[in-house]
C-alpha cells in the first residue's frame, strides 16, 4: 500500500489543472488547432481532450463539435494513423516521395493521360455544357404568327 503522504504528493503533482481551478486526471483539457486557415487566418479544426469519466477526444470546428470518441478508441485511431498509414503504408513519407519522383522521371503521367492543370477559358473548352438560352426564341416558346 502506498503511504498517504506519497499518495497526496503524487495526486497533486501529476494532476492537470482544470479550467475551474481543481485537479483532474493527467492528459485532460489538452487542445490543439490544426488544418487550413479559416477566414480569420486561424486553423479551422480543433481537437480537445475532456476529463469526464470516459476521458474522450473531441474534434470539431470553431463553430461546434463534430465528433467525439472514447479514449480507448482514440488510441486505436492514433495507432492506425501513426503505424498503418504513416509508418507501414508510406514509410514515414519516404515511399510517397520516391513514388512521385519516379512518376515524374518516367514521364508516365503523359503516357497514361494525365494533363497539366492549365486554366482554359470555358468557351474554348471542349465538352462543356451548352449555355442556357436567353430569349424565348432560343427556348422555342415564340408565338408563331
- Classify residue 43 by burial, with Cβ atoms within 10 Å: 0-12, 13-18, 19+: middle
Instruction: Provide the pLDDT for residue 28.
Output: 81
What is the grid cell recorded at 83?
Answer: 503505424
Residues sharing a CB contact under 8 Å with residue 27, sequence separation 6 or more, in sequence order = 16, 49, 55
How far apart, in whole angstroms, are the C-alpha atoms of residue 28 and residue 56?
9
pLDDT in tens, 51-71: 776 689 999 998 899 999 999
**Would you say residue 22 has pLDDT above 50?**
yes
User: With contact defined as beta carbons under 8 Å apart, do 71 and 56 qualify?
Assistant: yes
Cβ atoms within 10 Å, residue 46 = 20
How far apart, in whole angstroms, are the C-alpha atoms of residue 70 and residue 26?
15
Percent with pLDDT over 90 in the chain: 39
Split at pLDDT 50, 70, 90, the class of 80 is very high
The domain ranges of the chain are 4-111
**Would you say residue 101 has pLDDT above 70?**
yes
- Residue 32 falls in which region: left (phi positive, over 0), alpha (psi -120 to 50) or beta: beta
More confident residue, 23 or 108: 23
Q: Model's pTM, two decimal places?
A: 0.59
Amino acid at each position: 500500500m502506498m503511504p498517504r503522504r506519497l499518495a497526496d504528493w503524487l495526486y497533486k503533482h501529476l494532476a492537470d489543472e482544470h479550467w475551474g481551478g481543481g485537479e483532474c486526471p493527467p492528459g485532460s483539457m489538452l487542445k490543439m488547432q490544426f488544418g487550413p486557415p479559416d477566414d480569420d487566418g486561424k486553423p479551422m479544426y480543433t481537437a480537445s481532450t475532456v476529463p469526464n469519466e470516459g476521458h474522450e477526444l473531441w474534434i470539431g470546428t470553431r463553430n461546434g463539435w463534430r465528433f467525439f470518441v472514447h479514449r480507448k478508441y482514440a488510441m486505436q485511431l492514433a495507432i492506425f494513423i501513426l503505424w498503418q498509414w504513416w509508418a507501414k503504408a508510406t514509410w514515414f513519407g519516404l515511399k510517397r516521395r520516391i513514388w512521385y519522383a519516379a512518376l515524374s522521371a518516367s514521364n508516365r503521367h503523359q503516357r497514361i493521360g494525365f494533363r497539366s492543370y492549365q486554366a482554359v477559358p470555358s468557351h474554348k473548352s471542349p465538352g462543356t455544357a451548352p449555355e442556357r438560352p436567353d430569349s424565348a426564341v432560343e427556348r422555342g416558346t415564340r408565338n408563331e404568327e
